[in-house]
Every structure is written in C-alpha cells, then in structure tokens.
Amino acid sequence: MFANNVGNLFLSVSTGLFIGVLAAAIVVVGVAVFFVGVFLYKKGVEKKLGSADRRVKLMLEEAEAESKALKKEAILEAKEQELKLRNEFERESKEKRAELQRAEQRLSQREDNLDKKEEALDKKTEQVEQQQKNLARRDEEIKKMQEKVAHQHDLMIGELEKVAQLTREEAKRILTENILEEARRDAAVQVRTIEQEAKEEADANAKKIISLAIQRCASDQASELTVSVVPLPNDDMKARIIGREGRNIRALENATGVELIIDDTPEVVIVSGFDPVRREVARISLEKLITDGRIHPARIEETVEKVKKELDQQIKENGEAAMFEVGIFGLHPELVKLLGRLKYRTSYGQNVYRHSIEVAQLAGMMAAELGLDVNLAKRAGLLHDIGKSVDHEQEGTHIQIGADIAKKYKENNNVINAIMAHHGDVEPKTVEAVLIQAADAISGARPGARRETSTNYVKRLEQLEQIATSFKGVEKSYAIQAGREVRVIVKPDQVDDAQTLFLAKDIAKKIEQELEYPGQIKVNVIREFRSVEYAK
C-alpha cells in the first residue's frame, strides 16, 4: 500500500517534471521561431527596399533621358520656327524693297514729266511774250495807218463836197433816206421768210418732240400667240389628264372653255383658245392639278373655281400696277379691273396691257413738251383701248365699247373723245386727243411690237438704204437707230463739200415722197477725203 502510494507520487512528480520541461522547450522553440521570423522579415524588407531604390533610380534615369529628348525636340522646333520667321521676314523685306523701288521709279518718271512740262511751259511763255511784242508793234502800226486814213478821209470829203456841191449834212440826209427805203424792202422780204421758216420750224419741232418721246419711252415688246404650253413631268401624265374614256379632259375643257391639244410632242400639253383670260385659267389650273396629282372631274371643277378667284385678284392688282406705273389715280374700281384684264388680251400679237401703258407714257411726254395737260393725256392713253377687255363678250367695235364704258363710269368728256378719235372715227376736239392718235400709231409701228409689221419694218430699212444709194456719188449707206437715221458715205472725188448739203436735201425729199414712217428720219451725209503717202 505504501509502495503503491510512493509509486503514484513518483509517477506524479515525473509527469509534472516532464510537463514543465516540455513547456519550457515549447517556450524556447517559440522564442527561437519568433526571432527567426523577425530576422526573415527584416531580410525581406531590406530586399524590397533595394528593389524600390533600383526602380526609383531607373525611373529617374528614364525621366532624365526623356527630358533631354524633349529639350532637344524643343530646341529643333524653336530653330525651325526661327528659320520660318526669318524667311518670312526676308520675303516681306524683298517685297517692300521692290515696292519702294517701283515707287521711286514712278516718282522719277513724274519728276521727268514735270521737268518736260516746265520746259514746255517756259517755251510757251517765251512764245507768248514774243507774240505780245509783235501785237504791240502791230498796234502802233495800225494807229499810224488809222491817223493817215483819217487825214485822207477828211481830204476826200472836202473834195466830194466841192464836186457834189452838197454839204456833209445834206449828203447824210439823202443817204439815210435811201438806206431806210432799202431797209423797208428788205424787212418785207425778211418777214415773209420768217413766216415760212416758222412754219417749217413748227413742223420740225413736232417731229422732234415725237422722236424724243419715242427715244425716252423704252418699253419692252413681245409678240404673243393664242396658245400656251404646259410642261409635263413625264409622258405618263398625259393619260391621267385624259382620264378614263376622256372624262378628265372633257371636264377641264368644259370648265375653262378652251381646247387642250395632247399630241406626240413629248412632255407638253398645248392650251389653245382665243380668250387669253380663259387660256390663263386653264394653264394655271392644269399646272396646279399636275402638281397636286389628284386629277378627276370634281377636283378639276374645284381647282378651276379657285384659280378664277385668284386670277380676278391678280387682274385687279395688274390694273393698279398700270395706274401706278403711269402715275394716274382716281379711276373707278371697275375700270381698274377692266384695265388689268388687258394683260391677257393681245392685238396682232401685241400685248394690249403693255401697249396701253406705252401709249399713256408717250402721250404724257409729248404733252409735257408742248405744255399741255399731262394728266389728261396719260389718262386717255391708258384707257384708249379699254374696250378690248370685253370685246370678245359684247357686240361692236372696241372703240364704241370703250367709249360706252368710259361714259358708264363718268369719265371726262375729253377722255371719251380721245377714245373715240384714236383711230380717226370722229374728229378730235383737243390737242391731247391728237397726241393719243400719234402715240397709238407709234406704239403699234415699233419694231417687234406686232408680228405682221416686223417684216414691213425690215423692208422699210432696206428701202431707206436703197433710196440713199440710188444717188450719184454715194458709195455706201446705212440705216441706223431703228430707221431714225440714215448715214450716207459719199465718194470724195465725185462730191465736194458744197454738194453734200444739196445731196442731203435731195435724199430727204425722196424719202418723204416714197416712204411712210412715224416720226422723222435724219439724213447724215459724210464726205471723208484721205491722203495717203508712204515714207521709203
């Protein structure tokens, strides 16, 4: 029992010692491991610091190399910029030097010119001084001669008194009576001559006023036909215009009162009609329908009605524009509309609207030259063909229709008379009415104004040249200024300067006898003599 206790005690003591030793060993090992870890960590940190130093050093080296490259590049760029600026400076310097040289040359030339002019002026001054001396010497000689002549005159008068047995006063009285008698006879002849010249001058002035008015009035003229052409985007549009069994084209013709001609002509439709207003309505309506694309009878009727309303407004604006262009105000609104309708009315291919404006301007200019009523002349000229705006709708001549319209809207009696007299149907009561006749004839006879007169105009120019060339001694002749002047070149060896005057009169007289023309024609005879010699 005791032994067992001792054994257990010994075993307990041994186990405790073993545990203590084991704990001490573990402590020693832990301390050793700690120091080894610290040592290894220190080594790792030192290694990392060395690597960082190397990288920092490498980065510094790279930065230094890059800065050197940038510095070098900046230096090169600065040098290039400097070279460029230097080249530009040299170029500008050369240009300025060249410009200065040119300026110096111009100044030098001017100085030379001034020197030459100064020398010429000095010479002229010397010549003037010499001429003044010569004049002074001649004045002295003339005075001496006058004194000598006066002395001889006194001696002659004394001798004449002795021979005639008359005193100076008696001789003067007889001479005065004879001179007065001759003067009376000459005065009578002169009065008849003046009267004749006055008549001729009045006729010439009338022609001059008309020609000046023609020259100052430069209205455009264009011949117009009775058809209008409407372009199509393609030939397929023709079938759409005709419609199924022709219903679209019939609807358009019935609504507008014109005829549509669709033939083989590519991409066009011809609108034919004698009434320009209807033709214009059809043309505009067709263009609108083509643009819209909806072409059927209901749409056609709607479009035509809309275009008629728009055209009525346009007609009113046309009449107001004509009044403004001519400078006439206060017309009745219905007259303004009728005046605007004339834009769609032609006479022998001439637009009546432009013709009326031109007649008003011509009549106004001639009235101003003659000191007459300009406003009356313009008003009558603007309304003289007003009957043509409705002559397709009413019976009678455009003159009678126009006079009735003017009476209806309370126009001036002088205007009504001018309308009725502009074709000579009645006698004109005022000078302004006569001017309307002249202006109407001038406007209708202008080249290109009417189709059937353009050929006659060319023939008249040919006849004008033929008449001038038919005279002996004429080399060439040219009709210029639209037939208002004929220039005649004569042969200098056959016609002298004195004969050119009679030749011009003979040519003018023959033109008056054989040609009919508005205004006057100037005959300009030119004689040019040239003497040519060659230096050998």
Q: Tell me how far apart the alpha carbons of residues 179 and 524 are, in angstroms, rounded to a whole number.
A: 41
Q: What angle do CA 406, 337, 384 make, to 5 degrees?
A: 40
Q: Specify the pLDDT at position 329.
A: 82
Dihedral Cα 90, 93, 95, 98, nearest 10 deg: -120
Secondary-structure percent of the chain, ordered helix, strand, coil, rounded to 5: 75, 5, 20
State how far the alpha carbon of 344 is from the alpha carbons of 227, 283, 314, 322, 379, in Å.
12, 12, 11, 14, 20
For residue 363 the two structure tokens come to: 């009549």
Low-confidence residues of the chain: pLDDT under 50: 218-224, 451-453
Dihedral Cα 106, 107, 111, 113, nearest 10 deg: 20
Q: What is the DSSP string of 409-453?
A: TT--HHHHHHHHHTTTSS---SHHHHHHHHHHHHHHHSTTTSHHH
- Which burial class, exposed, middle or buried, applies to 510 when counting CB atoms under 10 A from its CB (0-12, 13-18, 19+)? middle
The total number of residues shown for the chain amounts to: 536
Q: Tell me how far apart the alpha carbons of residues 282 and 252 are, in angstroms, rounded to a whole number.
A: 8
Query: What interhelical angle do 374-383 and 413-421 show, nearest 10?
Result: 50
For residue 134 the two structure tokens come to: 């010569």
- Pick from 442, 409, 435, 406: which is nearest to 421 by CA? 435
- Pick from 367, 337, 364: which is nearest to 353 by CA? 337
Sequence letter at residue 26: I
Q: Specify the pLDDT at position 518.
A: 58
**Model pTM score:** 0.44
Residue 411: how many CB atoms within 10 A of its CB?
22
Indicate the domain borders of the chain: 1-143, 227-445, 455-527
Q: Which residues contact 384 (CB under 8 A, 6 or more apart)?
A: 356, 359, 402, 418, 419, 422, 436, 440
Q: Specify the pLDDT at position 238.
A: 82
- Pick from 149, 166, 148: which is nearest to 158 by CA? 166
Q: Tell me the torsion sign for CA atoms 496, 502, 506, 512.
A: positive
- Which burial class, exposed, middle or buried, applies to 478 when counting CB atoms under 10 A from its CB (0-12, 13-18, 19+)? middle
In the CATH scheme, what architecture does the domain 455-527 have?
Answer: 2-Layer Sandwich (3.30)
Query: What interhelical angle do 497-514 and 451-469 show, nearest 10?
Result: 150
- Which burial class, exposed, middle or buried, applies to 63 when counting CB atoms under 10 A from its CB (0-12, 13-18, 19+)? exposed
Answer whether 499's CB lies under 8 Å from 473's CB: yes
Q: What is the SS3 assignment for 355?
A: helix
Q: Specify the pLDDT at position 226.
A: 54
Between β-strands 259-261 and 268-272, what pairing exists: parallel, antiparallel or unpaired?
antiparallel
For residue 497 the two structure tokens come to: 């300067």
Answer whether 350's CB lies under 8 Å from 450's CB: yes
Greatest Cα pair distance, the chain, in angstroms, is 231
Write down the CATH number for the domain with range 227-445. Answer: 1.10.3210
Answer whether 226's CB lies under 8 Å from 378's CB: no
Which 8-state DSSP code applies to residue 516? -
Q: Tell me how far apart the alpha carbons of residues 172 and 170 are, in angstroms, rounded to a whole number.
A: 5
Answer whether 488's CB lies under 8 Å from 501's CB: no
Residue 427: how many CB atoms within 10 A of its CB?
9
Radius of gyration of the chain (CA): 57
> What residue spans of 327-373 are helical by DSSP H?
333-341, 352-370
Q: Specify the pLDDT at position 453.
A: 47
Q: Specify the pLDDT at position 220.
A: 46
Q: Tell me how far apart the alpha carbons of residues 452 and 444 are, in angstroms, rounded to a whole number.
A: 11
Answer whether 434's CB lies under 8 Å from 428's CB: yes
State how far the alpha carbon of 18 is from the alpha carbons of 9, 26, 32, in Å.
14, 12, 21
Q: Tell me how far apart the alpha carbons of residues 441 and 363 are, in angstroms, rounded to a whole number.
A: 11
Q: What is the SS3 assignment for 531?
A: coil
Q: What is the SS3 assignment for 192?
A: helix
For residue 517 the two structure tokens come to: 């023309």
> Quick one: how far is CA 189 from the chain centroid?
55
Q: What is the DSSP string of 48-79?
A: HHHHHHHHHHHHHHHHHHHHHHHHHHHHHHHH
